[in-house]
Amino acid sequence: MFCEIQRHKKKKKKKKVMKMVGLSLEYRVLIFFALVISLVVVLAAESADNNGGSERDYITWDDLTVDENGLASSKSNSDLQVILVDQNGNGHSSTVQGAVDMVPDHNTQRVKIYIFPGTYREKVFVPKNKPYVSFIGKRNETHGAVITWNSKSSDIGSNGQELGTYGSATVAVESDYFCASRIAFENSVVAKAGGQGMQGVALRVESKRAMFFQVKFLGTQDTLLDDTGTHYFLKCFIQGKIDFICGSARSLYEGCRLRSTADSYGAIAAHHRDTPNEDTGFSFVDCSIQGTGQVYLGRAWGDYSRIIYSNCYMDDIIIPQGWTEWNHPSREKTALFGEFQCKGKGAETSDRVSWSKSLTYDEAKPFLDRSFINGDQWLRL
């Protein structure tokens, strides 16, 4: 009986050992497949990154340029990573919108739309389902590519309703990681101070992230509707009379030229921010302000409007008070309007409204560079 029990125990032990070995083999197989899957995912991500794919959520200098010497081969290339726009018929499309329509929906690679010099009279829409699009103009061209239209907020649209400011835009961009360089956006409507329904937007941008380099924005009222998202404007030219930079975005304007064409009075910026929890605002750094008329630096288009000017040159066109609460006195307590180390006749702060701020370095620091727009996360310049 004892021997039988011992034999039985040995059999059970043997089965247990075999079972453990079997489980170990299963785990080995699982680990092997897990490693293979992980490797495939990593390689796919690297491939997407190298090809401008969906994992490549950043902007580089290369996204803002094309090899102009290789444009002939681009025209014959069926891959269409560079789409040529020439109103004379020597490109892939004679219109900018036609080129945008050629970009595949849910695109995962950077597509550059190179626009030859000329005046393109059209409204253009770049939808959200076409990310990674660049508009690029010719280098060193005095009279380059201009996309222009003439529509104002009081115009009647195809639905029988007024377009509104939003719908008046010559170019509207909702595409994420959109770029533009060396071109001009224009709305040719001429607004006058106090006029009704004369808002005419040259560009409306509500990309999650976008960059504009050496771009011109031409208009009179609400020229640049910097609507929503996080954006970087570098060495751009922005012109208008009234609120010619407006919106709810978080944007850095660095080294830009702001030109007023006001006849009598106007305003440069109008930022919309309703709560202190919104991480938005306009920061102007190393910009120059010149032109005509008498203009405010900014107007409070919301209780917590936020506009900062740092190291900017201001001509004598700035209204001495500098800022206005837009007929909402309560906003004096909540809006953040500030200046830091600006210069020029218009930078004299002795007559500024009491509720604006002359910032210290520590107060200005969060607004002084690309960290204001979390540039380290999406700009590789």
Q: Which residues belong to the active site? A: 222, 243
**What is the β-pairing status of strands 59-60 and 209-213?**
unpaired
| 220, 240 contact by CB (below 8 A) | yes
| 265, 285 contact by CB (below 8 A) | no
If we measure between CA atoms, which residue out of 291, 283, 235 comes closest to residue 64?
Answer: 235
Residue with tokens 């201009």, as numbered in its chain: 146
How is the chain split among helix, strand and coil, in percent rounded to 5? 25, 35, 40
Burial (CB count within 10 angstroms: exposed 0-12, middle 13-18, buried 19+), residue 255: middle
Residue with tokens 């036609």, as numbered in its chain: 98
Q: How many CB atoms lie within 10 A of CB 379?
A: 18
Residue 147, amino acid? I
Euclidean distance between CA atoms 90 and 116, whole angstroms: 10
Enumerate the β-bridge partners of residue 240: 260
| 133, 176 contact by CB (below 8 A) | no
- What are the distances in angstroms from CA 331 to CA 57, 148, 272, 318? 37, 36, 12, 21
- The 10 Å CB-count burial string (b at 16+, else e) for 291-328 is bebbbbbbbbbbbbbbbbbbbbbbbebbbeebbbbbeb
DSSP character at residue 106: T
What's the token pair of residue 340?
């830091």
Euclidean distance between CA atoms 373 and 140, whole angstroms: 29
